[in-house]
Structure 1
Amino acid sequence: MILLQANQIARQFGAETLFENIQLEVSSQARIGLVGRNGAGKSTLLKIIAGIEEPDKGTITKTKNVTLGYLAQDTGLDSTKTVWEEMLEAFSDVRQIEKRMHELEIQISQTPPEDKDYETVLAQYDRLQQEFIERNGYGYENEMRAVLNGFQFDESFYDKPTQSLSGGQKTRLALAKKLLQSPDLLILDEPTNHLDIETLNWLEGYLQNYRGALLIVSHDRYFLDKIVNEIYEISRSKMQHFKGNYSRYLELKEQQLASQWKAYEKQQAEISKLEDFVAKNIVRASTTKRAQSRRKQLEKMERIDRPEGKEKSANFLFHIAKSSGNIVFQLENGAIGYNDHVVSEPINLDIKRQEAIALVGPNGIGKSTLLKSIIGEIPLIKGEERFGTNVAIGYYDQGQEELNHNKTILAELWDEHPTTPEVDIRRVLGSFLFSGEDVDKSISQLSGGEKARVSLAKLAMEQKNFLVLDEPTNHLDIDNKEVLENALIDYEGTLFFVSHDRYFINRIATKVVELSEDGSHLYLGDYDYYLEKKQEEEELAAYEKEEEPQEKTMTAGKKSFVQSKEQQKQVRSLQRKVTQIEEQLSSTEEKISQIENEMTASENLDDPIKLNELDQNLQSTRQQQDDLTEEWENLSIQLEELESQN
């Protein structure tokens, strides 16, 4: 069922068009991701769809009685009500039913069965009770507890006024309330902001089971891949629709661009051929009629626009002035906190040259504090720290507090590098998408994404060999995140960074350090490896908890468990390989179908050279398909044998 349609929506600011001719359709249980560059108009479009703003052109049509819930980014609850009272408001209708049911219960108890109104009151009570059950009336308080717990609010928060919470907590509470309201269409603008990885994982699980439709703006690619199954992209004021999650959207975009270039180049070749014929034959009496015919053909031809390709992205690298020694930074038995209150210990770090280490952990555990301790801004409560030789630290602050809001972009960099020619400063800023008069903008006028790019530009100019980064992807759109990732992958120095962007961690990190109340724990792999090891640790701990207390030696039961875990690991590995091959087979089948269509195309039937080329390509692709099928069959047999052993 269609819940909502956006038809020919446009938004203009003076003479400038933000977007136009926007078509969007939301069906029940849809899972839609809305993507595009910062400034493309995503948040504005969400407000129009939610009815908060009016479009300059076009209409929004909704199904009768459909309920919409909208949460803007960084929106926080702020009232004198307690956390529990705020959550209860999400169930005001259910509580009204509950109140009326109690009134009817009293009335029923006071009405004799032979009374003429008794059956009427009883029937009314039955109807209300049925509605109460359907709306989880007997379980809504448990649902509130589950959602609050998912957002890291335990019972100690229930009686606290919302106005006493931190900004991040208020934002999480607003999202919790919106989820509990459970509208038919839930519209979320950057819901993953201010969430740690544990909460992100919980939110993904909750949204995957959400009964209504979802329309989400997010720069978190890992989150989009888990939640959405269709993508709407706003680019250059236009909108396109793609089926699939974010990764599939990227594949389809590449295929679309390749197809557009092929069609464009084919037409350009045809145009060139026709124009050449006209130029050579228009003045010759014997061929002038044919030349005129070609000219008319050119005039009637519907010209294909040159493909625009990707929008312009930042393009930069991080260089180092001098290499450090092999040992970059070491910390033994460290402790961090505030006013002698320890939040995490013991912390042990051993960072070597060219390592890329991600620091993860729940909000409030002290990740940013640890980074500031490393750069010397906040002293350690205790611990022995040592830097290696020639270590030069570059620090990225997620709040961009190092920026002077009274300066222009150009002055912000030039004042720190006064001997560098202005043309070189401008060249650096140009690589971060600041050109022309843009460099004269005041820092105070910039958006969060623009400030982030200025901070990264400053960092790039410093040419340090040890980068300590606190949430470097915050405020960046997806395209610029990818540019940053590529720059850090090519970086020859050492990285130690905090991020809740799991896709970013997967691409950058060679190790993961988890921070908790019990100190640090090192994992020798990327984020997916870290998750896998965490799951194994939790399952092993749960198994050991169930065993009777016994000697420290490994029992037969525990040995069996460890062997079983190893088999499960092999099963998961085989399952991933089987899935990858199935995706490759699907892609191969599409390619075979495409080649076969090209072979039957009229322009190729009379071209033996082209047909021979296509035939060779077809045979090669079919051989690839046979090889993949054989590999899939062998892996499937292995997988079946392992699963039967479990």
Structure 2
Amino acid sequence: MILLQANQIARYFGADTLFDNIQMEISTKSRIALVGRNGAGKSTLLKIIAGIDAPDAGTIAKNKTASLGYLAQDTGLDSNKTVWDEMLQAFVEIITMEKRMRELELIISELQPDALNYESVMKEYDRLQHDFSEKNGYGYENEIRSVLHGFGFKEDFYSKNINTLSGGQKTRLALARMLLQKPDILILDEPTNHLDIDTLSWLENYLPTYSGALLIVSHDRYFLDKVVNEVYEISRHKMRYYKGNYSKYLELKAEQLTSEWKAYEKQQTEINKLEDFVARNLVRASTTKRAQSRRKTLEKMERLERPQGDEKSANFLFGIEKVSGNVVLQIEDAAIGYDERILSEPVSVDIRRQEAIALVGPNGIGKSTLLKSIIGKIPFIKGNAILGTNVQIGYYDQEQANLHGTKTVLAELWDEHPTTPEKDIRNILGSFLFSGNDVEKTIPLLSGGEKARVALAKLSMDRENFLILDEPTNHLDIDNKEVLENALIDYEGTLLFVSHDRYFINRIATKVIELSETGSKLYLGDYDYYLEKKKEEEELAALLAEKSSVQQIETEKPKNDFYQNKEQQKIVRNLNRKIIQIEENLATLDTSIAEIEQTMSDTALVDDHMQLMSLNEELETKRTTQEQLLTEWENLSLELEELEEK
């Protein structure tokens, strides 16, 4: 079923067109990625589809019964409630149902079957019970716990006031609440920001089972490959549709471009032949009619535009001024943290020239803290970093704190390299997609992606031989991520970097260091190798835990003591006698209940309300006794089972 249609949507900024003639269709269970360069208008289009902004042209048609949820990038949850109470807000309808059911249960317990409103009350209760069950009324609290656990929130967080949490935690809670609300159309703009790798993995396994439709903007290629099966691309103000995940989209796009070039070249060959024939034969009396016919064919021909391929990408390299020694960095048994609070210990790092080391671990474990400790911004709580010979550090800060708020893009680079000619500075900025008047923009007016490119441009000019990068792919679109990857692969220096982009890690890293509360651990391979080894470790740990449990049971198992066994056998015999007695009583009760039910179904008693009420009371008494005996039987059977296992 179609939930939403975007028809010929356009957005203009004065005389400039951001996009126009946009067509999109969202159906039940759609899994759609919206991709395109930074500045192409992805977030703007999402706001129009979500009904937050109005289009300059075109219409949005939404199914009236379909609910829609929209989460902008970096949106944090602002609430005075506790984490648990705020998550409960996603289930207000179910909680209201539950309260009404409890009210009806009290009413039913006091009603007689012949009461005037008995039937209507029972119907309402049955309907509510059915709807409550359909909406997972018996499991919504477990659902909240599952989602909060997926986002890395333990139970000790549930009672915390949301306004006391960090910005990243509020962002994750906003996404958690949106998932729990389950709108029919869920629109997410960069949902993977601020998520560590474990949470990303959980989310990409959760979303394919989501009950509604998904429309997602993300620059995480692994994530898109696992979650989406349709791709809409905005490029050069237009929209194109591709069926498949992100990798399939790249494949289809390449095939499409090849096909367009073939068609264009074929038509150009035909045009050249026709134009040549007309030029040679138009003035000849014998061939002028044929030439005129060819000219008409040319005039009527619908000429194909020259295929433009991908939009312009950044194009840069990281060079080095001098080569470092073989040993670049050594840290041994250090402790990192702040305000004397240790985040990770012991931390040991040994980096050699031309290695590319990825630093991974959950949010809050101290990855950025370790990088800042290495460059001297945050002191080690214990230990220190020893740099090798001729090591020169270039540092990329994910918060771009090293950019000056009042300077222009041009001044940001030129002031640090005043002897470099302006033309050369402009050429470098041009390779990072800053051209013309763009270089006169001040830093505060830049987007996140533009600031990232300025910071990378500064880094490339410094020509340091040891690059320490904290989330360098944040704010970069996928095409510019690939350019950065290629530049770092060609880099002749040494790399230590933090990233949550698993595709980026896999392409760049030669080793992986995992940071945890118990310190650092080295894995000698790329990200896929790290995942493989982690899986092996988890399987081995589970096997050892199972073996340890069996050994403990064997150790704790009572010795073959005669008197102990004799006493145990006596208890077993007593339990067996009680169980047999209860079973006999239950059999008698079953017969009595069946007889009463048979009597009550006798048509002769239909009008004898007094007799029926008396029988019903007797029936309820016997059923209550039956339930009590069953509970007692279950408890005794469980006790007997535990004794026999010893």
What TM-score range do you get, normalising by the shorter chain?
0.7 to 0.9
Instruction: Name the counterpart of 1:96.
Output: 96
**TM-score for both structures, normalised by structure 1:** 0.84
Instruction: Name the counterpart of 2:244.
Output: 244
Instruction: Name the counterpart of 1:492.
Output: 492
The Cα shift of 1:484 comes to: 0.5
1:50, 1:440 → 2: CA distance? 34
Instruction: Name the counterpart of 1:285.
Output: 285
**Residues 141-190 of structure 1: CA deviation (Å, up to 9, x unaligned):** 11101111111111111111111110000000000000000111111010
**5 Å matches for 1:17-36?**
17-36=17-36
Contact 2:101 2:129 in 1 (8 A): yes
Summarize the Cα distance change of 1:549–1:140 in structure 2 as closer, same or farther, 3 Å threshold. Answer: closer
Instruction: Name the counterpart of 1:562.
Output: none
**5 Å matches for 1:203-602?**
203-548=203-548
The Cα shift of 1:385 comes to: 2.8
1:43 aligns with 2:43: yes
1:435, 1:414 → 2: CA distance? 15
Counterpart code for 2:295: R
The Cα shift of 1:403 comes to: 0.4
2:501, 2:239 → 1: CA distance? 26
Q: Which runs of 5+ in 2 are unaligned?
A: 552-646
Instruction: Name the counterpart of 2:640.
Output: none
Instruction: Name the counterpart of 1:188.
Output: 188
Counterpart code for 1:220: D
The Cα shift of 1:339 comes to: 1.8
Counterpart code for 1:200: L
Instruction: Name the counterpart of 2:55.
Output: 55
The answer to which of 219-228 and 2-11 deviates more is 2-11
1:516, 1:190 → 2: CA distance? 26
Counterpart code for 2:200: L
**Residues 374-432 of structure 1: CA deviation (Å, up to 9, x unaligned):** 11111111124321111111000000000001011111101100111111111100100
Counterpart code for 1:502: R
1:439, 1:316 → 2: CA distance? 17
SS at match of 1:316: coil
Contact 2:338 2:378 in 1 (8 A): no
Instruction: Name the counterpart of 2:166.
Output: 166
2:548, 2:338 → 1: CA distance? 41
Instruction: Name the counterpart of 1:149.
Output: 149
The answer to which of 346-355 and 451-460 deviates more is 346-355
Instruction: Name the counterpart of 1:640.
Output: none
Counterpart code for 1:182: K
The Cα shift of 1:64 comes to: 3.2
SS at match of 1:548: helix
**Residues 199-254 of structure 1: CA deviation (Å, up to 9, x unaligned):** 10111111121111111010111100010011000111110000111011011111
SS at match of 2:58: strand
The Cα shift of 1:434 comes to: 0.7
**Residues 539-573 of structure 1: CA deviation (Å, up to 9, x unaligned):** 1101110113799xxxxxxxxxxxxxxxxxxxxxx
1:547, 1:501 → 2: CA distance? 37
**Residues 314-360 of structure 1: CA deviation (Å, up to 9, x unaligned):** 11000111111111111111110112221101111111111111100
Instruction: Name the counterpart of 1:558.
Output: none
1:80 aligns with 2:80: yes
2:67, 2:119 → 1: CA distance? 34
The answer to which of 459-468 and 430-439 deviates more is 430-439
Instruction: Name the counterpart of 1:111.
Output: 111
2:265, 2:478 → 1: CA distance? 30
SS at match of 2:176: helix
1:447, 1:6 → 2: CA distance? 27
Instruction: Name the counterpart of 2:71.
Output: 71
Contact 2:393 2:465 in 1 (8 A): yes
1:14, 1:92 → 2: CA distance? 45
1:502, 1:156 → 2: CA distance? 30
1:31, 1:348 → 2: CA distance? 43
**Residues 47-92 of structure 1: CA deviation (Å, up to 9, x unaligned):** 1111111112111112231111111111111121111111000001
SS at match of 1:383: coil
Contact 2:365 2:515 in 1 (8 A): yes
SS at match of 1:416: coil
1:124 aligns with 2:120: no
Give the superposed CA RMSD. 1.1
Q: How many residues align?
A: 551
**Residues 495-522 of structure 1: CA deviation (Å, up to 9, x unaligned):** 1000001111111111111100011111
Instruction: Name the counterpart of 2:13.
Output: 13
Counterpart code for 1:7: N
Contact 2:333 2:348 in 1 (8 A): yes
Instruction: Name the counterpart of 2:569.
Output: none
**Residues 563-587 of structure 1: CA deviation (Å, up to 9, x unaligned):** xxxxxxxxxxxxxxxxxxxxxxxxx
1:200, 1:35 → 2: CA distance? 19
The answer to which of 355-364 and 57-66 deviates more is 57-66
The Cα shift of 1:487 comes to: 0.5
SS at match of 2:333: strand
Counterpart code for 1:367: K
The Cα shift of 1:119 comes to: 1.7
1:495, 1:370 → 2: CA distance? 14
1:388, 1:72 → 2: CA distance? 45
2:109, 2:413 → 1: CA distance? 79
SS at match of 1:47: helix
Counterpart code for 2:234: I
Summarize the Cα distance change of 1:550–1:31 in structure 2 as closer, same or farther, 3 Å threshold. Answer: closer
2:406, 2:321 → 1: CA distance? 30
1:117, 1:36 → 2: CA distance? 62
- Which has the higher Rg, Structure 1 or Structure 2? 2
1:17, 1:98 → 2: CA distance? 52
SS at match of 2:383: strand
1:148, 1:487 → 2: CA distance? 38
Alignment identity in percent?
A: 74
1:550, 1:59 → 2: CA distance? 66
1:413, 1:45 → 2: CA distance? 34
